[in-house]
Amino acid sequence: MRVPSPRPFLKWAGGKTQLLPALAERVPKKVREGQVPVYVEPFVGGGAVYFHFNSRFRFRECHIFDVNEELFLAYTVVRDRVEELIEVLQGLAGDFLSRDGAGRQEYYREVRDAFNRRRKTVTSARFHPSWIERAAQLIFLNRTCYNGLFRVNSRGEFNVPFGRYKNPLIVNEPLLRRDSMLLQNTSVHLGDFAQSLPTMSEGTFAYFDPPYRPISKTARFTAYSEDGFSDADQERLARFFAACNARGALLMLSNSDPKNTDPEDDFFDRLYGDFFITRVPARRAINSDGGGRGRISEVVVTNYPTGRAGTLLPG
């Protein structure tokens, strides 16, 4: 059996799979040559960039951060207890797939209700075997919910409806094992991006993927966690980016491009005016109007020069 390439074990809104070629083209030369031992992602999310970069480049250690406690638990369980996770997932998948359409929807709701009921009883302070069941429930819900979204309401409860997929792949054993192997060099952290500062140094390459700034008044999907990410947070991140730059780390950041809808909106051009800004084509991934999923551009900021069309300059 062909061993799968590492990639996200969760589907995640705002994932960067489509941007990977553009981001990979802008990776610093020192990283390509294996001269940078540490990789950091202060907003790991679904991990598309993390899995791609950590499998492609020779990092000695990686650090991934996120404020989402469910992600913290899931990454930790995949890294440390993958076989037990697979066993629990197999049980969930067997119970689900053995039912008819109405039965599957009922089972989905039962798992979702259990997941929400136990939310406040699971603590991230120290590993507990209950993490394994919770990570399995998260993966199950992610694979069977509508559009593979992770969304919580104001009470922090997962509230995505049933997805009605005919044959969802709930247990991808080879991928989970491959991701677990890759995670062995990785420290998983629960916390705000600013907590990554101690990992930033001349031996660090960091990629920042914050919740994107909405490019329209109706594009307000920020509910990956209970808290949103405001313009004030974007400004705080820009100051943090500058602080990491002062420590000598190599930095890359992506965000939405406000100029897609307002050519006069120079929000990110002003925030990152001291750094290198390029714009890359992308496809809108989240839009309540399906007809609006067209081509747009996104902003990529680096603190090192990259050439046109991603051609690297010496550095």
Task: Report helix, strand and coil shares of the chain as percent, to nearest 5.
Answer: 45, 15, 40
Average pLDDT, the chain: 89
pLDDT at 152: 87
What is the number of alpha carbons within 13 Å of residue 202 lying toward its C-beta? 0
Assigned architecture for domain 74-175 = Orthogonal Bundle (1.10)
User: pLDDT tens, 70-85?
Assistant: 999 999 999 999 999 9
Provide the CB-side half-sphere exposure for 36 (13 A, CA): 28
State the Rg of the chain over Cα: 20
Question: Dihedral of CA 224/179/39/72: which sign?
Answer: positive
CB 178 within 8 A of CB 4: yes
Question: 122-165: per-residue pLDDT in tens?
Answer: 888 889 999 999 999 999 999 999 988 888 888 889 999 999 88
pLDDT in tens, 24-62: 999 999 999 999 999 999 999 999 999 999 999 989 999
Cβ neighbours of 157 (radius 10 Å) = 15
Q: How many CB atoms are located within 10 Å of the residue 3 CB?
A: 10
Distance of alpha carbon 33 from alpha carbon 131, whole angstroms: 38
Quote the pTM value. 0.90
Helices H / strands E in the chain, number of each: 10, 7
Q: Where are the domains of the chain?
A: 17-67+191-305, 74-175
The superfamily CATH assigns to domain 17-67+191-305 is: Vaccinia Virus protein VP39 (3.40.50.150)
- Dist CA 129 CA 73 (whole Å): 11
